[in-house]
Amino acid sequence: MNDKNKLGLPFEYQQMPEYFDAHNVSKETEAKNAFIEKLLKEQRVKNVLDMTCGTGSQVFYLAERGYDAVGSDFSPALIEIARVKAEKLGKNITFIDGDVRELRVGKFDAVITIFNAIGHLTKADFEKALQNIHANLEDRGIYIFDIFNLQAITDDIIDNFAMDIESVVNGVKIRNVQHSEIDRKNGLLTSHDHYTIFKDGGKPEIHTNTFSLQIYTAEELQAMLAKNGFETIHQYDMDGNDFIADKSLNILTVARKINA
């Protein structure tokens, strides 16, 4: 996917995959996973395909709770980390290298793509992904995904996105300074990262990276889903509360496949 990605990607996706969990898995992750599991249970889902699984956060969580969970991701490096985790845990979980726009695995009760994953696709590529997700679902299968809510992202929110954080990964200290800007007309949230990596007391390594997320209003998502063979069942805030168009920072959408 990265060679065809027009919006750029976060630095850790390819150049530093060992940093992915430190940057993307937080104390809120389990609460979010629990809400996703609640939604799957409500829809009587038994098997799940996570088509943007990264290092497997949702897959491991769901597998531990009795779901037949399979993970796929466009990044071989992240998939390899997920496989190593599964081996260490003694879990027989399948992780597949594959692009959400193209990969055909089988027929599942549900597909998920979580934590702004669809934002790394252009609108045209998201439509391709929807059509492919449709093909990987059983009749009336469920698709759950989330994305930032364009309508709620004010200038103050953009300012609050700024961060200056330090992490230690495998004994290496990493500082990440990020600031963002938004193009509301085109729905593009662009982030600029400056990484400083301190290794073995030597000269720090400096890396810079810029990437954009394609973000949407709730109405845009409903229209795109309808165009590509889905009906919207419900939209929530990411914390599980009801979605409020001008207040909720995220849109968590539950949709159903409605035609073959």
Q: In what order do the strands lie in the sheet with 205-214?
A: 163-169, 172-183, 188-198, 205-214
Burial of 69 per CB tally in 10 Å (0-12, 13-18, 19+) = buried
Cβ–Cβ < 8 Å for 180, 209: no
Mean predicted confidence (pLDDT) in 65-93: 96
Distance between CA 42 and CA 251 in Å, rounded?
19
- Give residue-wise pLDDT tens across range 16-72: 777 777 666 666 888 899 999 999 999 999 999 999 999 999 999 999 999 999 999
Q: pTM surpassing 0.75?
A: yes
Domains of the chain: 2-149+217-257 (3.40.50.150), 152-213 (2.20.25.110)
136 in Cβ contact with 108 (< 8 Å): yes
pLDDT digits (tens, 9 = 90+) for 181-236: 999 999 999 999 999 999 887 789 999 999 999 999 999 999 999 999 999 999 99
